[in-house]
Structure 1
Amino acid sequence: MLCSDAGLLSNIVASQDAAHAPYGGVVPEIAARAHMSKIDAIIDRAVQDSGLTYSDLTGIAATSGPGLIGGVITGLMAAKGLALSLNKPLIAINHLEGHAVSPRLTEDCAFPYLLLLVSGGHSQLLSVNGLGDYTRLGSTIDDAAGEAFDKTAKVMGLGFPGGPNVERWAAKGDDHAVKLPRPLLDRDSCDFSFAGLKTAVARAYVASDGSDTAKANLAASFQRAIADCLNDRVARAMTQFAEGRDGPYRFVVAGGVAANATLRDGLKSVAAERGFDAIFPPLRFCGDNAAMIAQAGLERLQAGHVDPLNAPARPRWPLDAEAAKQAPASGAGRKGPKS
C-alpha cells in the first residue's frame, strides 16, 4: 500500500477469514504462515498498482506492534529488508496509532480529537492531542468489545468473522427480548468491561431453545447492551475532553467494531447531543488495513520521526505507554502493560 500527499495510491488487502473460519476465531500459527506466504506478492502488487517504482518510495512504514507476534514479525522484517536494500528510512508504527489517524486518510480531521478505539483486541477512549501525543481517558479492564462480538457469534454458531454475523442476526431480532447486564454502566469512569456480558450471553443461549428466533433475539439484545455501554462511556469521556478546551469538538470512532451500523447511529446521537462532530473512517478503513499504517508513516516521516533497523516487534504497545506502565487498565506482565 502506498500513500502520499496526493492521497492513497494503492491499497491491497489479503483476507484470511476463510482460513480461520473453521476454528471460529484467529489461529496465530495459521495467521503467521498466511502472512509469510502472501506478503511479497502483496507488496509487489501494491507498488505496481500505484504507478510508481520501488526507487520512488520515500520511506517504508510497517506495523511494529501490538498484535499477534508472528504476523507482526513477518511484516516488520519485510519492511526492514526493503528499507535496507533501497536505503530508505524505516518508520515502525504502533498499530493503534494507525487506527487513531485513519480518519485523516479521507477527512480534514485536525488535532485534537476524542477517539473511541473499538476492535477485537482493544476498547479505549483517548484524547488525541497530536501525532504521538495521547492521553488515555478509559480502557477495558478485561475483554474488548470486538472480542465479545466474536465470542457471542462462536457460542451461537453464527460463523466467523463474528462482528458482521452478529449484526446481521441482530437486524432480525428484538433487542429487548433477553435481559443482559451493562457492566460499569453509570460508574464514574470511562473504563469498559465486557467479560461479564460474554458470560451472560453464553448462559442465555444455553437456556434458550436454540432456534433462529432465539439467536436473533439474543444477538439483538447483546448488540443493544454493547451500544448502551459504549454510549454511556463516550458521554462521560466527552465531558472530560471538553473541560478546559474551546470547540469545535471532534469525536472519532475507529477499529473494526466501528463498522457496526447500529453502534454508529447511537454514537452519532451521543455526539450530536453534546456538540461534537462525529467522524467515522470509511468502512474499508475501519478494520486492520495497510492504508492507515501508511498514513501514520507519512505523518511521522514528515515530522522527521524515523526508526533504526533494530526496531523491535512488540506484542504489547499501549499508545499512552508511560501512563499504562503506572496504571495498566487490564494487567501487565513481562511483555508490558496491555493497555
Structure 2
Amino acid sequence: MIEQPVYILAIETSCDETSVAIVENGTRIRSNVVSSQVETHRRYGGVVPEIASRQHVESITWMLQEALEQADVRLEELSAIAVTNGPGLVGALLVGVAAAKALAFALELPLIGVHHIAGHIYANQLVQPLEYPAVALVVSGGHTELVYLESEGKFRIIGQTRDDAVGEAYDKVARALNLPYPGGPHIDRLAHEAEHEIELPRAWLEGDSYDFSFSGLKSAMLNVVNQSRMRGEALQSAQLSLGFQNSVIDVLVTKAMRAAAEFGAKQLILAGGVAANRGLRAALAARCEEIGLPLIVPPLSLCTDNAAMIAAAAFLKWNKREFAELDLKAEPLLSLEKW
C-alpha cells in the first residue's frame, strides 16, 4: 500500500515578512512564497508594528493562493495547517494565527502552533538530517541565543543576549554610519572592502558564561563615530564596519565552539537572519573544519523568515500528533524550552 504524502501548509507572519509554504513529509519544499516589507519599513529605519500588521492582512489571502498554485497541491490534499504563534510582534502574529485557525476549521484539519526559533533551527532539516546532541547558534534581528538540542525537538537555552540582539546591533550601528535599513548586509559588504580595521572591544562577560552583550560594543562604535564628526574627520565606514563585525564574530564563534565542545555536539547548527552574514559563515566554517565538527548552515533563502522552516518544525509535532486547539493564541513571549 502506497502511503499518502504529508502536506503541511505553514504560515509565518511574526515580523515583517508574510510567508506561506507547503512542505511534503517535513523535508521537500513544494512552495515557499515570501512577501517582504523591507522597502516599506526602510523609510522609518526599522519595523513599524502597526504597518507590518496591516500589510500582513493585505497579503495573506493571495499568498495562500500563490503557495497552493506553486505547490500544485489542492486544499483537500493538505494534511495539517501550521502557523508561527510566537515569539514576535503580537499584531503581526495575530494575522497569521487567525488565518491558520480559519483554514483548519474550514477544512477540518489539525492545527499546529510553531515556535519561531524552532522554525529557524529546523530550517536546516530541509538541507540535511540533524544529528543529536547538537548546539544551535541562533542569530537574528530579535534573537541571539545558544541552544542545546539533546534530542529531536528538545531545546535548552544555554546562552542569550542580555541587551541587544546581534541583528538589532547591526541596524543601530548602520544607522550611525548613515547606511540603509536593514544594516547587516551593508556592514558585511563594507567589512569585506576594508584593508584594515579600527579595533573595537569584545564583551566576554563572566568566564563560564554563554550569554552575549552587544550594547557596550555599540556604544564604543558610536563614540568613535561621534568623535570623528566632532573633529571634522572623514568617517572611516569600511574600517569601522570591519572592526565591529570582527568583534561580533569573535564572541559568537568562540562561545559557540566552546558550547559545542562542552555539550559533545555532533553538529553545530547556524540559524536566523544573520546566518546570511558572509563573515560569520566563513569564520564558523574555518573553526569547525579545524576540529572536524560538522557545520550545518541553511541556504540564504532559508535564513530570513519564511514559512518552509515553520512547516519543517511542525512536522515534528505532526509525528507526535501534538495538535493545537482552535483557541490557539498569539504569544509574543512564547518560550522555546516549553514549546
Give how far 1:293 is off: 0.3
Give how far 1:111 is off: 3.0
Q: Deviations over 1:80-123 (max 9, x none)?
A: 00000000000000001101111001212233311000111111
Give how far 1:131 is off: 3.6
Aligned to 2:222: 202
* 1:10 equivalenced with 2:27 (yes/no): no
Residue of 255, 262, 284 corresponding to 1:267: 284
Aligned to 1:287: 304
Matches within 5 A, 1:154-193: 154-176=175-197, 178-184=198-204, 187-193=207-213
CA distance in 2, matches of 1:208, 1:217: 13
CA distance in 2, matches of 1:37, 1:97: 27
AA paired with 2:169? A
CA distance in 2, matches of 1:276, 1:229: 18
CA distance in 1, matches of 2:89, 2:224: 31
Structure 1: stretches of 5+ with no match in the other structure: 323-339
Give how far 1:175 is off: 4.8
CA distance in 2, matches of 1:23, 1:144: 19
Task: Decide whether the 8 Å contact of 1:153 with 1:160 is kept in 2.
Answer: yes
Q: Deviations over 1:7-59 (max 9, x none)?
A: 11001010100000011111111111111110111011101111111111100
Aligned to 2:322: 305
Matches within 5 A, 1:52-131: 52-131=73-152
| TM-score for both structures, normalised by structure 2 | 0.89
Give how far 1:186 is off: 7.5
CA distance in 2, matches of 1:113, 1:134: 10
CA distance in 1, matches of 2:151, 2:302: 20
Give how far 1:157 is off: 1.2
Structure 2: stretches of 5+ with no match in the other structure: 1-20
Say which SS state the counterpart of residue 145 (structure 2) adopts: strand
CA distance in 2, matches of 1:262, 1:219: 11
Give how far 1:187 is off: 2.5
CA distance in 2, matches of 1:216, 1:28: 31
Aligned to 1:296: 313
Task: Decide whether the 8 Å contact of 1:148 with 1:195 is kept in 2.
Answer: yes
AA paired with 2:251? C
Say which SS state the counterpart of residue 266 (structure 1) adopts: helix
Task: Decide whether the 8 Å contact of 1:123 with 1:192 is kept in 2.
Answer: yes
Q: Deviations over 1:124-175 (max 9, x none)?
A: 1111123431122211111111111111111111101111111112222245
CA distance in 2, matches of 1:153, 1:216: 11
CA distance in 2, matches of 1:88, 1:204: 56
CA distance in 1, matches of 2:150, 2:89: 28
Say which SS state the counterpart of residue 149 (structure 2) adopts: strand
Residue of 218, 227, 238 corresponding to 2:260: 238
More strand by share: 2
1:312/1:211 CA distance change after superposition, 3 Å: farther
- CA RMSD of the aligned region, Å? 1.7
Task: Decide whether the 8 Å contact of 1:173 with 1:213 is kept in 2.
Answer: no
Give how far 1:317 is off: 1.6
| TM-score for both structures, normalised by structure 1 | 0.89
Say which SS state the counterpart of residue 117 (structure 1) adopts: strand
CA distance in 2, matches of 1:172, 1:207: 23
Task: Decide whether the 8 Å contact of 2:84 with 2:310 is kept in 1.
Answer: yes
Say which SS state the counterpart of residue 63 (structure 1) adopts: strand
